Structures are given as C-alpha cells and as structure tokens.
Amino acid sequence: MIECSVSKSLHSLAGALPQVTEEVVNLLFEKRMSNLVSLLHKITRVLTVHRVPYELIGGLAVMVYIEEASPEHTPLTRDVDLMIDRSDLERTIKAAEEQGFRYRHAAGVDMLLPEAAQKAIHAVHLLFSGEKVSPNQAVPNPPIRPRNKSVEGGQVMVIPIEDLIIMKLSSFRLKDQVHIKAFDAASLILPSLEKRLNSQLAERLRYIRNID
C-alpha cells in the first residue's frame, strides 16, 4: 500500500512538474523585470533632473517596441543599457552618485553600479553616441535623438526604432541577431528602413532572415 501511494504521488508530481516549472520561471522573470524597470527609472529620473541627454538602448528598448506591436514576440533581457554623449560622462557620473550609483570602467565597459551591487550584470551599462563598442561594429553608434515613451508607469527617453535596429545589425552578436528576428516577427522592420541600410547591414539582415 505504501509503495502504491508513493508511486501515485510520484506520478502526480511528474504530471504537475511542467506546470510548476513554468510558474516558477514566470515568477522569476517577473521579479527580474521588476528589478530592471526599477533600476531603469532610478537612473533615468536623476538624469532627467540634471538635464543629461540619454537614450534607453539594448534589450530593454527592444522589449518596449515589440511589447507595443506584438507582445508574443517579446524577447527576454537581463540588463539596462543607456547611450549618452561622451562629453556628458562626468555629469552622468555625478548625477548618478546622488542615487547611490558608483562608476566603474572594467574590461572596456563603462557602467554605473547600484548601491551594494558588485557584479556587472546588475549595473547600468553606458555606451557613447558616435563611437564603436568594438572594431567589429559595422557603423558608429547613432546620435542621440530619443522618443519619449511610457515604460511601466514612468517616462523614459528611448532610442528611435530605426536607430535601434541599425545598432543591432551593426553589432551583430548572437543576441543582436535574436533581437532582429523578433523585430522581423513583429513586422517592425519596414521597407523604408531597409532602403537606408548600407550593403553590409543589408547583407546581415538577409543572413538573419535565412536562419531557421
């Protein structure tokens, strides 16, 4: 009887496991996204107060646009990326310090670490307009000309979608290719943008579209 009860319990647990696992993953994702958005608002509010021009870029910016157009294609992300002018770096650092952020430059990356955080994964990463992150980047980062967007109840200056797509094609890392796939699935890569692409970026877009 005990073996039979245990067997039934194990079968019951096995049947419920996929649902439990999915619920746990969803809860972890929601908590992670909540933390990211809180971090985003914390840094952007103080930059706005100090009139430091910035743009939200990277995975969070991708999520903002795809969530508006086709939420089922929204990709995951794990960090906050902002673009500023190099000339505004010192003002950015001083403003961020008021909210407990610490500036760090490590492995060629500029970042703002929140209070008590030690790992780069928990930081706000800074990129610079008009510059390249690596020699492999096809074109320099675009100028700052943001769009004002509502992100989870707060106003955030977000990179224009055309510039974001070009940045993704230019960087062309695996995660950038995933983001381009998501943009395409959401029908956000318009013919008008494709006409703006140079031959190298156009070839990269064709390559991504041919990936199964």
Q: What are phi and psi of 51, to 5 degrees?
A: 55, 40
What is the rounded distance in angstroms from the CA atom of residue 127 to the CA atom of residue 53? 13
Quote the pLDDT of residue 33: 79
Quote the pLDDT of residue 162: 97
For the chain, how long is the longest CA-to-CA vector? Answer: 76
Quote the pLDDT of residue 181: 96
Mean pLDDT computed over every residue of the chain = 87
Q: Specify the residue for token string 């990326």.
A: 81
**In terms of C-beta distances under 8 Å and separation of at least 24 residues, what long-range contacts does 104-109 make, across chains too?**
none
Give the global pTM.
0.84
Would you mind telling me the total number of residues written for the chain in this entry? 212
Could you give the percent of the chain with pLDDT greater than 90? 71
Quote the pLDDT of residue 1: 41
Q: Which residues, given as ranges, of the chain have pLDDT below 70?
A: 1-31, 117-121
Whose CA is closest to 55, among 137, 166, 122, 129? 129
Quote the pLDDT of residue 119: 61
What is the rounded distance in angstroms from the CA atom of residue 156 to the CA atom of residue 188? 20
Quote the pLDDT of residue 161: 98
Residue 7 per-residue DSSP state: H
What is the rounded distance in angstroms from the CA atom of residue 127 to the CA atom of residue 171? 12
Tokens at residue 119, please? Answer: 């790992």
AA identity, residue 165: I
SS3 81: strand
What is the rounded distance in angstroms from the CA atom of residue 50 to the CA atom of residue 206? 42
AA identity, residue 148: N
Quote the pLDDT of residue 20: 52
Quote the pLDDT of residue 149: 97
Strand pairing class (124-128; 80-84)? parallel
* Cβ density class 39-66: b for 16+ within 10 Å, e for less: bbbbbbebbbeeebbbbbbbbbbbbbbb
SS3 165: helix
Q: What are the helix (H) ranges across the chain?
A: 2-49, 58-69, 89-97, 161-171, 174-185, 191-194, 199-209
User: Which domains are delineated in the chain?
Assistant: 2-209 (3.30.460.40)
